[in-house]
Structure 1
Amino acid sequence: MRARWGVGLLGLLLGAACVAQTALPAQPTSAPVSTPRMLLPKPAARSVSAMAQDHAYALLALTALSAKHPKPERLAAIGALTRLAEHGNAFAEYVLGSLYMWGPQRPHALLPYNAALANEYLANAAIRGNLFAMQALAQFELLNHHPLQAMIWAQTLAYYHHRLRPAQKRAVGYLPELIAHAQEQLTTAQEAKLLSDVNGVLVRYGPRIEAGLRRRWPALPADCLARRIAPQGTVPDFFRPGRWKHVPRAASLVMIYAVDPAGRIVDHAIINVLPNWHVRYQMRYALAIMRFNPAPGCHDLRLVIQPMHYIDHRYSMHWH
């Protein structure tokens, strides 16, 4: 693995939502719509500590990923995310690793495909407690024909899922499919050493991963909490069988939403989608009907991280 390990500032906890200090006028419709540009105060010029303290990195990520923003703004946001990543911000590392993982396969991409940087950023984010990055890294290793490394990270992710949800007896969503695909490609010799390799990761990086998982976002005022109100839990697939080709049985997608005080989505972008970029078409229905709670007492734009799975013809949003 080509990663450079360091001490992180912040880890991304599953289901977290954060607030950026940017006021936004109400929009007239509840569907995702075009919106005036959401500008940070000169993001490339701000200090790393300032961006980390007010969670500006979430809005930086949305600016970098959403094609609604002009190219100079997106490039400035990518530059600021890179500075944050250099200082150990796990979320910035996850976003950058996701960008380099797909390169021009991602619509409106601004960064090239770079296997070394994708591996480095995702691995750094993974050992700092970002479980989204851990899953993306496992899929990335599988796509690059490294089934043992893919299985190590997938099994490590399954271990921490169990630690976070001990009542849940088995992994659910996209992860079991990822493990099955990696398992199919393992040699007998690799299977024999898998357990010791997974234990090696837990011994070497476990304290750092767990420290990242324990880091929580500062408590938000009750008026500003973002809660998904629709769709609830799972919703059925509306596509006819065979309508879309090259769509796998299971998929995982992580979105970032900007939600106004009325609960309307005013901007959104995909952070990463697994196992390939084609599945974003399969997820559009659930994304289109997503709704969040109104927060009239909150005058700030709310940023929400929303993971979603597609498996067995159903959408599942059990992580939020």
Structure 2
Amino acid sequence: MVGVALSGPIRAEAAQDRSTMAWAVILDPHQPLDLRRQTLAGLEEHAPDDDQHDLYLLGSLYQMGPKASGAPVPQDLTKATLYLGNAALRGSLLAMAKMAEIKLAEHKDREAMIWAQVFAHYVTQVPGDERPPEGYIAELVQRILDRLGQAGMPQVMSDVAGFVAQHDAAILAGLRAQSRAKTPRPQSGEHFVTMPPGRFAPQSGIADYLVAFRPDGSVEHAWLLDAVPNPSLGGALHHYVHGMTLPARSGEDGRLRYEWVPAMYDDHRYRAKSGA
């Protein structure tokens, strides 16, 4: 059994309604492909440059490519880097982690470690109940270190210090904005995930879903946007996300409510060491 936690605030309903409904079309595999592509193009054209949430979602889609639910685009790490990098500079913690994952996949180990250390630095700036599990942070750093080696770390940490000095004000402002926008999160009756017999448990990681809730608060469906470091994590956590609930609402004529759920998976194999 391994622990799973929600991570990051979910935007206020009024602020996210338009883009969320667009994503409900983009990720719906039952919608015509042309309609999904047109909706995505409109979202990219009108997404505010300073909206870390939309930037994060767009980057995550291009990071995942066709493995996302109903994805109308191929994987494009150039676009993913553009969107996620801008989201990270505006205070998106998970965008920092995904930048590290992308650079590692591109065999740019030094850049990957810089982003991983920036991620680890800013994780400490948010309340404990909003932090990604330390097991994922530790595993991310270790995976990069296995390729980079200790010899490169002094220069990496010097570059991290320079990055923080240059971008700290904007990133902290983005983190504060997230905290102010926080609304009640979907709840799960499960705190652990049990893998089916014979199935190898995936590494700790991040999986993002767009979840449709019925008026009674139960889940109608959950669409996967992205999962790192391994896309199979999205399938492993689907049952967990599908068991979530929201407080029931009356008088909504059967309309679905959509919420973004970033789920963090921690296999407890590693722990982050303070001051390391």
Output the TM-score relative to the length of structure 1.
0.71
The alpha-carbon deviation at position 159 of structure 1 amounts to 1.5
The answer to whether the Cα contact below 8 Å between 1:19 and 1:55 also exists between their aligned partners in 2 is yes
| Equivalent position of 1:271 in the other structure | 225
Deviations 1:110-157 (A, max 9, x none): 112222211111101111111221111111111111122112112211
Matched, 1:103 2:59: no
* C-alpha separation in 1, matches of 2:59 and 2:130: 29
* C-alpha separation in 2, matches of 1:217 and 1:79: 29
Deviations 1:150-194 (A, max 9, x none): 121122111121111369999524222111101111144421211
The answer to whether the Cα contact below 8 Å between 1:62 and 1:268 also exists between their aligned partners in 2 is no
| Equivalent position of 1:288 in the other structure | 242
* C-alpha separation in 1, matches of 2:137 and 2:22: 28
What SS does the aligned partner of 1:108 have?
coil
The answer to whether the Cα contact below 8 Å between 1:127 and 1:208 also exists between their aligned partners in 2 is yes
Deviations 1:248-276 (A, max 9, x none): 33232122212233112234322220112
The alpha-carbon deviation at position 278 of structure 1 amounts to 1.9
The alpha-carbon deviation at position 66 of structure 1 amounts to 2.5
* C-alpha separation in 1, matches of 2:147 and 2:231: 22
* C-alpha separation in 2, matches of 1:275 and 1:14: 18
| Equivalent position of 1:8 in the other structure | none
What SS does the aligned partner of 1:200 have?
helix
Q: Name stretches of at least 5 consecutive residues in structure 2 with no aligned partner.
A: 1-6, 270-276
| Equivalent position of 2:79 in the other structure | 117
The answer to whether the Cα contact below 8 Å between 1:226 and 1:293 also exists between their aligned partners in 2 is no
What SS does the aligned partner of 1:261 have?
coil
The answer to whether the Cα contact below 8 Å between 2:20 and 2:258 also exists between their aligned partners in 1 is yes
The answer to whether the Cα contact below 8 Å between 1:123 and 1:134 also exists between their aligned partners in 2 is yes
Structure 1's 229 and 216: CA in aligned 2 closer, same or farther, altered over 3 A? closer
Matched, 1:312 2:267: yes
**What fraction of aligned residue pairs are identical, expressed as a percent?**
27
The answer to whether the Cα contact below 8 Å between 1:256 and 1:306 also exists between their aligned partners in 2 is yes
The alpha-carbon deviation at position 217 of structure 1 amounts to 8.4
Structure 1's 229 and 269: CA in aligned 2 closer, same or farther, altered over 3 A? same
The answer to whether the Cα contact below 8 Å between 2:204 and 2:264 also exists between their aligned partners in 1 is yes
Deviations 1:27-69 (A, max 9, x none): xxxxxxxxxxxxxxxxxxxxxxxxxx56411222232123133
Deviations 1:194-245 (A, max 9, x none): 111111111111111112122258879xxxx65433224x2241422x325x
| Equivalent position of 1:237 in the other structure | 194
Matched, 1:228 2:193: no
Q: Name stretches of at least 5 consecutive residues in structure 1 with no aligned partner.
A: 1-12, 21-52, 315-320
The alpha-carbon deviation at position 108 of structure 1 amounts to 3.4
In the TM superposition, 1:132-151 aligns within 5 A as: 132-151=94-113
Letter in 1 for 2:13: V
Output the TM-score relative to the length of structure 2.
0.81
* C-alpha separation in 1, matches of 2:16 and 2:92: 19
| Greater helix proportion | 2
Letter in 1 for 2:188: A
The answer to whether the Cα contact below 8 Å between 1:226 and 1:302 also exists between their aligned partners in 2 is no
Q: Please identify, of 124-133 and 80-89, the stretch whose mean Cα deviation from structure 2 is larger.
A: 80-89
The number of equivalent residue pairs is 262
The answer to whether the Cα contact below 8 Å between 2:213 and 2:245 also exists between their aligned partners in 1 is no
* C-alpha separation in 2, matches of 1:170 and 1:82: 28
